[in-house]
Amino acid sequence: MKNYKIQPSILPGFMELLPKEQQIFNDIVKKITTVYEENGCLPMDTPVIEKSEVLLAKTAGETEKQVYSFKRGSNDLTLRFDLTVPAARFVAQYFNELTFPFKRYQVGKVYRGERNQRGRYREFYQCDVDIIGSNKLSINNDALVISMVSKGFKSIGLKDYKFQISNRKILSSILKEIGVIEIAETMTLIDKYEKIGPEVFTKSLNELVGNEKSNFVNEVMNIKGSNDEIITKLKELELKGKELEVGIEELKKVRDMLSILGVEDDEYIINLQIIRGLDYYTGTVFETFLTGNESYGSICSGGRYDNLAQNYTDNILPGVGISIGLTRLFFVLKEMGFIDNYEIKRSVDYLIIPIGNTLKYCGELCRKLQDNGKKVEIYLEDDKLKKKLNYANKLGIPKVILIGEDEVASGEIKIKDMVSGNESVLNYNQII
Amino acid sequence: MKNYKIQPSILPGFMELLPKEQQIFNDIVKKITTVYEENGCLPMDTPVIEKSEVLLAKTAGETEKQVYSFKRGSNDLTLRFDLTVPAARFVAQYFNELTFPFKRYQVGKVYRGERNQRGRYREFYQCDVDIIGSNKLSINNDALVISMVSKGFKSIGLKDYKFQISNRKILSSILKEIGVIEIAETMTLIDKYEKIGPEVFTKSLNELVGNEKSNFVNEVMNIKGSNDEIITKLKELELKGKELEVGIEELKKVRDMLSILGVEDDEYIINLQIIRGLDYYTGTVFETFLTGNESYGSICSGGRYDNLAQNYTDNILPGVGISIGLTRLFFVLKEMGFIDNYEIKRSVDYLIIPIGNTLKYCGELCRKLQDNGKKVEIYLEDDKLKKKLNYANKLGIPKVILIGEDEVASGEIKIKDMVSGNESVLNYNQII
């Protein structure tokens, strides 16, 4: 055997949790996915590794630089960088075996070789819901996916979030209407608004489209008021393009449906600055920020796409998706102190501690308790009592049952409450 | 946009399930991990990608040929090929922050570039429990890990399995006692017994150790009888090495503890042919076969190791682990028809179908029902009624609530039972 030791460590940009935090992480995932299931979403699981030609069918240069690709034999392989592209491939591949509208959720790790910085990970969990229609999909689903995340957040007791919602059709048609030629560049610039700040933004926009158009765009982007007021002001704009009308109408329908589905007014704001890059989104787009921690970026984003799987099939598959960046969310929740105060159900009710030659009796007691729905662990090591009690203490096991030979003989069972320190004595039949 | 389509497909050797089967797969994972949690195991999650020097610290040539390794920048990266090596690294890395004995479970995908054949996958889920002690760990834990899998299998209604248990000390010390020099080679050969069959085995063993020793080994390996009888016969062997005594005593203790923990006699047999390769195992070893489907190989294996993390730390960390090959298990359960008959709890109780302009009312009804613990979906598409009912049918949603404008006006709610076809009418307050 080698004598030297290899330093046990993981790669930078990878998250790993100690058991207590892992329990909380898993509890969050479980609660959110339970909401998805109870709203009719079906589970999906796709490979972490796929053919590069499949995963990279649509990506532009920026994504390709970040992906983990490698060759194995003659195959070009890529680790998935999101769960949306695999979902598109999946729906195209199994089209005839799925029921539409197809509502699916998926939780899985994805990989991006991003620059390592706080809150950004190279391996991170996404938790996605997508609703995919065959040929058509009601705009109401755009509100439904947001409402599910709202319910999910509420189920974990999270309050300090705000959805920021827009519809890409609005700004892009306004740009068209006012005669901007450089629509793509302008949208990209608007997408960077938050990052570069209003001054740099305005200067760049002036240069790109001229001061007059720039002023108008800035004005529209900064319409303030309640969600209803923003929609009203958009309707009052002296512009009459069909696409603009559609965009505003869609936004209004999403807003109405959010109310119907019980998403409160203070959970979201309409923000026309939300663009979501230039990828597949075509209508509704949204991001989500944790109040006071906006600088870590969006922890939940998504939007509407007209045709999800066009690289793989001639079937027209419009959809809307929402993705929680679970790893980043967890990181920010830790920063906020939310995790420290997160309460989880204890997984074990009792620790049975055998003292002397009582293992057989302890085993039987354990089975009896478990058969009665209790969660029970036996301490199997031959240690001092103090160490045994310490184990229960450290792991937060609330009650300890001490079984010595006297207890076996008498049928009496001593239960020590680890919180109060009180001891109570029950007989064998009482406890089960 | 490109006009040609990329064939949507996944790599050979990767498993992907349709929603119905995925629900069953997830249910199996959930039930088994719930058993682990309720017996005091803590969750662990480690990166899929680790430094090659960490993951490959101990492996021999055979493993290295199968792993997925690649370079990124100046880093040599490897995808984990099991969950045991990461667990060893984890325990060494966070030693001071863990409570021992440390019981952890982990479910995750691992990667091995095996030859593609039925029931063997290149990406597959393992579901592991390991119990790791600091400096020492009671032999009773070897039985405990088996008992947890037994409970897990029972929780999913699986009966047709058999644990095959041995202790490696027994055969290896017998070989030593009878003067075999080529112990490693002989153990490797015994490990192949099942694969090559008794004839080829005996011929090879004769060549390796001579006929006399070969006969004796064959005799010991084929001791038959009940579990107690096998242990008794082993004790009666005219060999007296200390290690042999220890091995037999450990096996007996495991057998006794299995009884104490409620594992029935017909769930396992002692089989000295079980060796588990020449990797880290040092005492108890076991494999598990589905009765009648032994040819697909073991679906759950593991054993005892004296010092799990010796490549990473000077701390002595003995442990015992058990690993269910979930993907293979699922494959074999499908072959057996077990999956076809697997019952899962429906995730949705009601589908609300709006007819006409009743969406708002349907939304309120949905929320009321959900607030009362019901699982409810609204059909949001503007389709013909037949298509809406068909959606419920295909997804197995048991009850449909039809809400037309009449129902809104009257406050009466029509519920259609999709199984019996019966319709009942309740008023709004009755249903919630």
Segment B225-264, tens digit of pLDDT? 999 999 999 999 988 889 999 999 999 999 999 999 999 9
Q: Do A98 and B376 touch (CB under 8 A)?
A: no
CB contact at 8 A, A388 and A402: no
CB contact at 8 A, A221 and A234: no
Segment B302-351, tens digit of pLDDT? 999 998 899 999 999 999 999 999 999 999 999 999 999 999 988 899 99
Residue of B nearest to A258 (CA): B363
Segment A338-365, tens digit of pLDDT? 999 999 988 899 999 999 999 999 999 9
pLDDT at B138 (0 to 100) = 97
Residue A219's CB is within 10 A of a number of other CB atoms, namely 10
Percentage of residues of chain A with pLDDT beyond 90: 85
Query: DSSP secondary structure string, A211-265?
Result: HHHHHHHHHHHT--S-HHHHHHHHHTSS---HHHHHHHHHHHHHHHHHHHTT--G
Segment B340-383, tens digit of pLDDT? 999 998 889 999 999 999 999 999 999 999 999 999 999 999 99
Over residues A288-314, mean pLDDT: 94
pLDDT at A117 (0 to 100) = 81
pLDDT at B50 (0 to 100) = 97
Q: Do B37 and A375 touch (CB under 8 A)?
A: yes
Q: Do B395 and A68 touch (CB under 8 A)?
A: no
CA distances to A387, B49, B87, B123 from B29, in Å: 33, 23, 19, 17
- When pLDDT is cut at 50, 70 and 90, the band that residue B279 belongs to is low
CB contact at 8 A, B370 and A40: no
B424 in helix, strand or coil? strand
Token pair of B153 as six digits: 């299998």
- When pLDDT is cut at 50, 70 and 90, the band that residue B73 belongs to is confident
**CA A370/CA A376 separation, integer angstroms:** 6
pLDDT at A431 (0 to 100) = 74
Q: Which residues lie below 8 Å from residue A413, measured CB to CB, with a gap of 6+?
A: A365, A401, A403, A407, A425, A426, A427, A428, A431
Segment A84-108, tens digit of pLDDT? 999 999 999 999 999 999 999 999 9
**CA A154/CA A35 separation, integer angstroms:** 10
Residue of B nearest to A387 (CA): B100
**CA B34/CA B221 separation, integer angstroms:** 37
- Map out the domains of chain A with their CATH numbers: 19-335 (3.30.930.10), 350-431 (3.40.50.800)
Residue of B nearest to A92 (CA): B8
Displacement of CA B271 from its chain's centroid (Å): 21
Q: Which residues lie below 8 Å from residue B358, measured CB to CB, with a gap of 6+?
A: B403, B404, B405, B407, B408
Residue of A nearest to B20 (CA): A42
Q: Whole-number mean pLDDT of chain A?
A: 93
Interface test with A, best of B7, B15, B126 (most A CBs within 10 A): B7
Over residues A416-425, mean pLDDT: 92
Q: How far is A137 from chain B (nearest CA, A)?
A: 7
Q: Which residues in chain A are closer than 8 Å to B72, comparing Cβ atoms?
A: 68, 113
Q: Do A57 and B6 touch (CB under 8 A)?
A: yes
Q: Which residues lie below 8 Å from residue B217, measured CB to CB, with a gap of 6+?
A: B171, B174, B175, B178, B180, B186, B190, B205, B209
Interface test with B, best of A5, A21, A84 (most B CBs within 10 A): A5
**CA B244/CA B171 separation, integer angstroms:** 8
Segment B164-214, tens digit of pLDDT? 999 999 999 999 999 999 999 999 999 999 889 999 999 999 999 999 999
**CA A311/CA A279 separation, integer angstroms:** 13
SS (H, E, C) B354-406: ECCCCHHHHHHHHHHHHHCCCCEEECCCCCCHHHHHHHHHHHCCCEEEEECHH
Nearest to A8 among B92, B138, B261 (CB): B92
**CA B417/CA B401 separation, integer angstroms:** 9
DSSP A284: E
Nearest to B377 among A18, A40, A137 (CB): A40
Per DSSP, helices labelled H in B58-192 are: 61-66, 84-93, 140-155, 168-177, 183-191
Task: Please give the sequence-ordered ranges of beta strands (E in DSSP) within A267-327, or none if there are none.
Answer: 268-270, 284-290, 300-305, 319-325
In sequence order, the β-bridge partners of residue B51 are B77
Over residues A229-238, mean pLDDT: 93
Q: Which residue has the tokens 């704001």?
A: A269
Q: Which residues lie below 8 Å from residue B109, measured CB to CB, with a gap of 6+?
A: A48, B48, B123, B124, B125, B126
Q: Do A43 and B10 touch (CB under 8 A)?
A: no
Over residues B396-412, mean pLDDT: 93
- When pLDDT is cut at 50, 70 and 90, the band that residue A385 belongs to is very high
Residue of A nearest to B397 (CA): A40
CB contact at 8 A, B235 and B125: no
Token pair of B258 as six digits: 């299995």
pLDDT at A61 (0 to 100) = 60
CB contact at 8 A, A269 and A162: yes
Q: Which residues in chain A are closer than 8 Å to B92, comparing Cβ atoms?
A: 8
pLDDT at A116 (0 to 100) = 75
Percentages helix, strand, coil for chain B, rounded to the nearest 5? 45, 20, 35
Looking at the predicted structure, is the pLDDT value of residue A277 above 90?
Answer: no
pLDDT at B187 (0 to 100) = 92
Q: Which residues lie below 8 Å from residue B347, measured CB to CB, with a gap of 6+?
A: A37, A38, A40, B23, B375
Looking at the predicted structure, is the pLDDT value of residue A427 above 90?
Answer: no
pLDDT at A62 (0 to 100) = 64
pLDDT at A3 (0 to 100) = 61
In this structure, is the dihedral angle defined by the CA atoms of residues B351, B355, B359 and B362, taken in order, positive or negative? Answer: negative
CB contact at 8 A, B20 and A44: no
Looking at per-residue pLDDT, the higher value among A305 and B2 belongs to A305
- When pLDDT is cut at 50, 70 and 90, the band that residue B6 belongs to is very high
Looking at the predicted structure, is the pLDDT value of residue B2 above 60?
Answer: no
In sequence order, the β-bridge partners of residue B125 are B109
Q: Which residues in chain B are closer than 8 Å to A109, comparing Cβ atoms?
A: 48
Structural element, H or E, at residue A2: none
Over residues A376-390, mean pLDDT: 95
Per DSSP, helices labelled H in B156-210 are: 168-177, 183-191, 193-209
ipTM: 0.95
Q: Which residues in chain A are closer than 8 Å to B380, comparing Cβ atoms?
A: 101, 138, 140-141, 144
CB contact at 8 A, B110 and B81: yes
- Pick the range with the lowest mean pLDDT from A2-11, A31-40, B11-20, B99-108: A2-11
pLDDT at B58 (0 to 100) = 74
Looking at the predicted structure, is the pLDDT value of residue A2 above 60?
Answer: no
CB contact at 8 A, A303 and A257: no
CB contact at 8 A, B286 and B303: yes
**CA A181/CA A104 separation, integer angstroms:** 39
Segment A111-167, tens digit of pLDDT? 999 777 888 899 999 999 999 999 999 999 999 999 999 999 999 999 999 999 999
CB contact at 8 A, B251 and B166: yes
Output the furthest CA–CA distance in chain A (Å, rounded): 94
- Pick the range with the lowest mean pLDDT from B40-44, B114-118, B334-338: B114-118
Nearest to A6 among B44, B77, B312 (CB): B312
Over residues B12-18, mean pLDDT: 96
pLDDT at A59 (0 to 100) = 62
Q: Do B144 and A391 touch (CB under 8 A)?
A: no
Q: Which residues lie below 8 Å from residue B398, measured CB to CB, with a gap of 6+?
A: B346, B349, B417, B418, B419
**C-alpha torsion angle, residues B406, B410, B416, B421 (rounded to 10):** -80
Listed residue (A135, A132, A136, A169) closest to A44, CA to CA: A132
Query: DSSP secondary structure string, A165-222?
Result: EEEHHHHHHHHHHTT-S-HHHHHHHHHTHHHHHHHHHHHHHHHHH-HHHHHHHHHHHT
Q: How far is B201 from chain A (nearest CA, A)?
A: 30
Interface test with B, best of A39, A102, A376 (most B CBs within 10 A): A39
Q: Which residue has the tokens 């002023």?
A: A215
Interface test with B, best of A16, A17, A98, A129 (most B CBs within 10 A): A16
Q: Which residues in chain A are closer than 8 Å to B97, comparing Cβ atoms?
A: 18
**CA A146/CA A255 separation, integer angstroms:** 11
Angle, CA of B215, B220 and B225, to the nearest 5°? 130
Q: Which residues in chain A are closer than 8 Å to B261, comparing Cβ atoms?
A: 363, 366-367
pLDDT at A378 (0 to 100) = 96
Q: Do A38 and B310 touch (CB under 8 A)?
A: no
**CA B328/CA B338 separation, integer angstroms:** 13
CB contact at 8 A, A328 and A73: no
Nearest to A311 among B2, B133, B138 (CB): B2
In this structure, is the dihedral angle defined by the CA atoms of residues B194, B196, B199 and B205, taken in order, positive or negative? Answer: negative
Interface test with A, best of B39, B125, B364 (most A CBs within 10 A): B39
**CA B306/CA A287 separation, integer angstroms:** 51
Residue of B nearest to A88 (CA): B8
CA distances to A134, B56, B325, B336 from B331, in Å: 31, 29, 10, 9
